[in-house]
Structure 1
């Protein structure tokens, strides 16, 4: 199957012309690219790499499991990553395990986003607006 996405856009009509449709071709976005890495949140502090791998290995070959730990305390931060060898195995695991309990806590699973280094970080500024009632006090 072709992985090219087609976008259609209407051109603006002038009084003496008719509207017509223009089609643009673009490569697939990164969200439609195969992704075999899952982000798993809601992990119990009792979960370790072996128990997490055992829970997900029934869906396919798990190539890597990483649980994130706090540097100071050494305790689990409650989330981790699971790499599958194939993206369809990751999709099946996500669909089956999202919301299911592991050692008493429900898991929240999504596809992991690619790590971007050196990119700009945009933090929106919140403007403080006082309403009319607070000005009269």
Structure 2
């Protein structure tokens, strides 16, 4: 089961999440999402648990609780939606203008 966690303190790391969710069962992976440019946490993460029942118990028990001085939201992760491709050229001069 893939789990989405938001509202995380910027100091929380992958090991912290693994330890938190391990109380409910086996954690396959835990990944805090980092900003590409700064390398700093973006305040959300994904945890994968091998057992759906244990994952649901973790969601039920952890959603809305205070963790590292912030109230976190925990839910089932939704599949990533594909962004529509933008066929227009990026940046620069706008070729559609007429003078």
Q: Give the superposed CA RMSD.
A: 1.5
The structure showing larger relative contact order (alpha-carbon pairs under 8 Å, at least 6 residues apart) is 2
Q: TM-score, normalised by structure 2?
A: 0.80
1:53 corresponds to which of 9, 18, 23: 18
Give the aligned partner of residue 73 of structure 1: 38
1:13-52 matches, within 5 Å, as 36-52=1-17
Q: Where does structure 1 lack aligned partners over 5 or more consecutive residues?
A: 1-35, 122-137
Consecutive aligned runs of 4 or more in structure 1 exceeding 6 Å deviation? none
Give the aligned partner of residue 58 of structure 2: 93
CA drift at 1:66: 0.8
CA drift at 1:115: 2.3
Q: Where does structure 2 lack aligned partners over 5 or more consecutive residues?
A: 86-99
User: How many angstroms apart in 1 are the aligned matches of 2:41 and 2:81?
Assistant: 24
Aligned-partner SS, 2:39: coil
User: How many angstroms apart in 2 are the aligned matches of 1:113 and 1:73?
Assistant: 26
Q: TM-score, normalised by structure 1?
A: 0.59
Give the aligned partner of residue 75 of structure 2: 110
CA drift at 1:114: 1.3
